[in-house]
Structure 1
Amino acid sequence: MERIASCSCGQLTARVVGEPVRVSICHCLACQRRTGGPFSAQARFPRADVAPAGESSQYVQAGDEGPGARFHFCPRCGATVYYEPLGLPDYVSIPIGAFADPRFPAPTVSVYEERMHAWVVPPAAVEHFR
């Protein structure tokens, strides 16, 4: 399986080969601020399976807990295409929306649920972490 994640203008991409090792949603405050939504949704892939292309600007964001991540976003349109979790150097995460594929696999993990908006209902088949 091959997928391509892209920014809004198409300048920055990440080609991925293989299936994600984890698809999750995160309700932490840092993700809420970064995405402008009540949670983020991302897929984690082995670094060897991800091939970025194009110019990216970077921003290191501390997480609610742990070392945070280095986000790569397009300097033209501002969309985040991939990020490197600083505590997981062998992996790259990609926001699910960057694939623009409604058939993308559903999340199986939901984290930081203590910060979840009261009206959000994660999928039933999800592992939950407070």
Structure 2
Amino acid sequence: MKTRTATCSCGQLSVETQGEPRRVSICHCLACQKRTGSIFGAQARFPRSLVQIRGESKEWVRVGDEGSSVAFHFCPTCGSTVYYAVAGYDEESIAIPVGAFAEPGFPVPTISVYEERMHSWVGLPPEIEHMQ
């Protein structure tokens, strides 16, 4: 079973995963754009039972467009978001920003959401599922 480690920028907070992600997705919502400081968020979901968290995190909760709350866990030293969970939706999974793995060969996203907010110049893999 493949092991991957995602970390914050300073290395204090890390998440070790086992196996392949359940889902890799891209989100173009404005909240993800603000959270990442980029034009979209890319995240991978793993079963909680196959994730081990090490280090101290701070939590920030926001309510999403659909009304569900998302609990983001970030490093109190460097501020990097390392994992999060969506209340009431797939509570058996933990989402981890793909960039936290720093692995250019990470599996390709299979779904893209909130595309009505996608920047016009973004190109996506041709086989990706699209959701407005």
Same fold (TM over 0.5): yes
- Consecutive unaligned residues of structure 2, counting only runs of 5 or more, are none
RMSD: 0.8
**What is the match of residue 92 of structure 1?**
94
The Cα offsets for residues 38-68 of structure 1, whole Å up to 9 and x where unpaired, read as 1000001111111111000000021122303
- Which of residues 111, 114, 117 is equivalent to 2:116? 114
SS of structure 1 residue aligned to 2:95: strand
Displacement of 1:37: 0.9
Query: How many Å separate the matches in 1 of 2:27 and 2:69?
Result: 13
> C-alpha separation between the residues in 2 aligned to 1:126 and 1:27?
14
Matched ranges for 1:13-92 at <5 A? 13-86=14-87, 87-92=89-94
Determine helix, strand or coil for the equivalent of 2:116. Answer: helix
Q: 3-state DSSP class of the match of 1:15?
A: strand
Amino acid at match of 1:42: Q
| Alignment partners' CA distance in 2, 1:120 and 1:16 | 29
1:128 aligns with 2:115: no
**Residues in 1 aligned to 2:25 and 2:58: alpha-carbon distance in whole angstroms:** 24
How many residues were matched structurally? 130
| Amino acid of the structure 2 residue aligned with 1:20 | P
C-alpha separation between the residues in 1 aligned to 2:64 and 2:42?
A: 15
Is the Cα–Cα contact under 8 Å of residues 27 and 39 in structure 1 kept in the other structure?
yes
Higher mean displacement: 56-65 or 5-14: 56-65
Q: Distance in 2 between matches of 1:95 and 1:122?
A: 18
SS in 2 for 1:32: helix
AA aligned opposite 2:7:
S
- Which consecutive aligned stretches of 4+ in structure 1 deviate over 3 angstroms post-superposition? none
The percentage of aligned residue pairs carrying the same residue is: 59
Alignment match, 2:107 = 105
Counterpart code for 1:19: E
Shift of 1:122: 1.5
Structure 1 residue runs without a partner (length 5+): none
Output the TM-score relative to the length of structure 1: 0.97
| Counterpart contact for 1:29–1:64, Cα < 8 Å | no
